[in-house]
Amino acid sequence: MKKFDKDRVILGIAAPVLAVVFAMVLSSLIVLISGKNPFDAFRLMFEYAQGADVQVLILNRATVYYIAAIAVAIGFRMNLFNIGVDGQYRLAAMLAAAAGGAMHLPGPLHILMIIITAIAVGGAWAGVAALLKVRRGVSEVVSTIMLNAIATSLIAYLMHTDILGRQPPGSNNVTTTPLDDTAWFPGIGVDVDGQRMEVYGFIFVAAALGVGFHYMLSRTKFGFDLRAAGASDSAAVASGVNTKRMVLISMLLSGGLAGLIGLPQLLGETHSYGLVDFPAGIGFTGIAIALLGRNSPVGIAFGALLWAFLDRSAPNLDFNGYEKEIATIMQGLIVISVVVAYELVRRYGLRRQQQQVGEQLAQAARKNPEEVAA
Amino acid sequence: MHAIVGENGAGKSTLMKILYGMQKPDEGTIVVDGEKVSFHTPGDAIARGIGMVHQHFMLADNLTVLENTVLGSEKLYGIGDAARKKIKEISDAYGLGIRPDVLVEDLGVADRQRVEILKVLFRGARTLILDEPTAVLVPQEVDALFANLRELKSEGLTVIFISHKLDEVLSVADEITVIRRGTTVTSVKPADVNARRLAELMVGSELPSPQTRESTVTDVPMLTVTGLNLAAFSGEEEGRKVLDDISFTIHKGEILGIAGVEGNGQTELIEALIGTRELDSGTVVLGDDDITAWATRRRREGGVGYIPEDRHRHGLLLEAPLWENRILGHVGERPNSKGPWLDPKAARADTERIVKEYDVRTPGIEVTAASLSGGNQQKLIVGREMSHEPRLLIAAHPTRGVDVGAQAQIWDQIREARHEGLAVLLISADLDELIGLSDTIRVMYRGRLVADADPATVTSEELGSAMTGAARGHLEHTESADDASGEEPDASGEGAEEER
């Protein structure tokens, strides 16, 4: 029995490793074509990541990516493609920032209120897509893409200076009212060459989300139903899963988590939502990382770190005369390789197991020939 | 012209797939023109002059007959006039009446079939396999097809003809091979048999296994179904009643068998009973509970065991390990969970027990369900459903695609559970199984329960005629031929004796 477990672990690791190696080979070719030495490029990236300041930046970005990917993964586990994570987190961060800016509360309560607002907004925005799917059969892919566009416009509208936005003098950025320092989420201070940098304290929240996600999936009835619905809709229905309710709940969960994506930065760094400087597009990165991490909490952690590393080390390539797009190309290649590699490994694994089971049974049958007749 | 006859699932199609190189046999030999051959692909079979006309046509609608014919074998006669000439030649030789430049989408079913035959001949086939060619034709077209086939025969070609329509087989074949449950029963000449004898050979006159037929039927109703109605809600048949005023009662310890050609409402009946399909009207009462408004989960955890007709789609998570499949459908029950939490340890332990008690052949419980054979998958499902002390078991084709050994085991388990007071709704296409297991048989035709029969005396043939709508009411004469007839067969009449 141990043998199958070991096989599964090896196969599980083989796919992403193969994919990353394959993507590196392809990227090397591209660097070669651009007339540079690929090994130097990789060396530069790794060397750059040795610096403590870069490591802090990588960790912080990975935290954000991790939450995004978990939000996407919840949908993926039951075959829901929540492309709307992007709109959900931006709208949630903006409204939570505005609400937080208007509130004046003691520390933990202030933070809690902002978190609840963000979850509620993200969940509500995803809930629109969920209702459309459950009630009208609208594909969540289409509706969430649309809702992303609507969220963008809605944010632009709400950020008018006569509604929720304000323009600090001498700046071309429009932001929400800055949060009181009661709403600042404490970080872990790191001293880098006499300069203080902070790792987002939210990294613990992200880790807790990962653990919670794992337990929900593997240890609760709800998680079992969710996985069953994802693995086989027809079998889940026959087993008594109410798929509509399941779609609704998992979409709300996914959107609620998406609401948290903007908070590490909002609570730990900028303390306001700014039209110009608040990052967009993390929802889509989350999709890539969820794929890379195979929707598993541990896999996603590695995926998020890898992605953040590639992100952060790209500028250093630029300084040294390399095209910084190499990192972006690598990210793209990794995603494609991963999708292909997983499918190949999955099929290989299934077939291999079937053969092994057949062989083992045949052996057992040879040992007790009288049983074969049965 | 050689006909192969057998019931649904007897193995006709598998045999043909082997002959045509689509599937590889585990053992055995094929001899063509005195030469032993082995086919790896349909291409090999075609090279040996074997061609197949599939039950479902494989034609591109938006291409002409000519284009369809040359598609894939452009090398033979090109795609131009040479090919057209060859098509004409074949068409004239066998009287197929082909018009090469008509679009396939403009052709009727019979014409399309002739195009399929032409395609095969065009590729140089000397042996034609026709898989249930008459299933899609109206009687006049059948006659025309047979005229074509006789033409082919007179030109020295061999035709293998698969069917389960006995009259056709008798009228057209030179020799008939009957297969049942994957083995050859016999080969006969049409002159030596009549339709009745052939049917007996086909369904097998003997019953699946000897059984003591002491009745365990009680007079305590377990499932009472009253006035189920359901209309198709989509497709071209929208509004047609797929369940039409279905009422029956199953008592504790009773097995009610439903016979019927597939697609006559059996699937919908099951869906209505496990609650995945909402009824237009009617009530379902289980024991003392009116479960009409219950959701599927509540029904299944409330004592409705379910062996689905398509275990891959409805009964298993193929890529999940066995112990997770043991949880499926019973996630809210011990030993699978406590409160909102799963209990993987207990579920695993109980899976080990099922594997042992139900003789599921597997190296362990961590392997995926997909790696087990069909019979072992089914035994796991049976074990799972029986482990939750069901009050009612819905068993749809419980032994379909299951090897003979597992079949007998599953039957034994169902009988045993019946003995302990389980009520069973058995739906099966295997008439032997129905007659052998059931205490009462009802026949379903076009969404209605049209006939009932006493399994102790009814024959497969009698059931068969009711399944096609030819016979109704009580299928043999007893003193009380009343309509309700959900009643148990009166046990006094038939003893525990001769079933064979």
Residues B132-144 pLDDT 10s: 777 666 666 778 8
**Inside any domain, residue A305:** yes
**Inside any domain, residue A359:** no
B470 has pLDDT over 60:
yes
B217 has pLDDT over 60:
yes
Dist CA A373 CA A96 (whole Å):
69
- pLDDT grade for B405, boundaries at 50, 70 and 90: low
> With an 8 Å Cβ cutoff, are B361 and A361 in contact?
yes
| Gap from B362 CA to chain A (nearest CA, Å) | 7
What local confidence, expressed as pLDDT, does residue B496 receive? 36
A362 touching B (Cβ < 8 Å)? no
Residues of chain B with pLDDT > 90: what percent? 1
**Are B434 and B463 within 8 A, CB to CB?**
yes
What local confidence, expressed as pLDDT, does residue B492 receive? 38
> With an 8 Å Cβ cutoff, are A238 and B340 in contact?
no
- Our count of domains for chain A comes to 1
A223 touching B (Cβ < 8 Å)? yes
Q: Which residues of B113-124 are buried (b: 16+ CB within 10 A; e: fewer)?
A: bbbbbbbbbbbe
**Inside any domain, residue A12:** no
Which contiguous run of DSSP H or E holds residue B170? helix B166-172
Q: Which residue from A minimizes the CA distance to B326?
A: A239
A1, A232, A244: best mutation site toward chain B, by most B Cβ within 10 Å?
Answer: A232
A vs B: CB pairs below 8 A: 108
**Are A125 and A149 within 8 A, CB to CB?**
no
**Interval A86-105 mean pLDDT:** 90
What local confidence, expressed as pLDDT, does residue A3 receive? 52
The residues near B181 (Cβ < 8 Å, ≥ 6 apart) are: B10, B11, B204, B404
Of the candidates B298, B228, B233, B310, which has an alpha carbon nearest to the alpha carbon of residue B269? B228
Between vectors from CA A86 to CA A81 and to CA A87, what angle results, nearest 5°? 105
Q: What is the pLDDT of residues B111-164, one digit of tens each?
A: 888 888 888 888 888 888 888 777 666 666 778 888 888 888 888 888 888 876
Structure tokens at B425: 């709704």
Q: Which is more confident, A257 or B490?
A: A257
**Inside any domain, residue A258:** yes
Q: What is the pLDDT of residues B324-360, one digit of tens each?
A: 999 888 888 888 888 888 888 888 988 999 988 888 8
Helices of type H across chain A: 2-33, 38-48, 52-77, 85-102, 107-136, 140-158, 202-219, 221-231, 233-238, 243-260, 263-265, 282-292, 297-319, 325-367, 369-372
**Inside any domain, residue A271:** yes
Which domains, and CATH codes, for chain B? 2-203 (3.40.50.300), 221-303+389-474 (3.40.50.300)
| Gap from B472 CA to chain A (nearest CA, Å) | 33
**Structural domain for A96, as ranges:** 37-321
B359 neighbourhood in chain A, CB within 8 Å: 374
Residues of chain B with pLDDT > 70: what percent? 86
**Interval A200-217 mean pLDDT:** 92
**Inside any domain, residue A234:** yes
Q: What is the pLDDT of residues B51-107, one digit of tens each?
A: 888 777 788 888 888 888 888 777 778 778 888 888 888 888 887 888 888 888 888
CATH label of the domain that carries residue A110: 1.10.3470
A366 touching B (Cβ < 8 Å)? no
List residues in chain B touching A: CB distance below 8 A: 274-276, 295-301, 306, 308, 313-320, 324, 327-332, 337, 340-342, 344, 359, 361-368, 370-372, 405
**Inside any domain, residue A335:** no
Q: Which residue from B minimizes the CA distance to A363?
A: B363
- pLDDT grade for A133, boundaries at 50, 70 and 90: very high
**Inside any domain, residue A354:** no
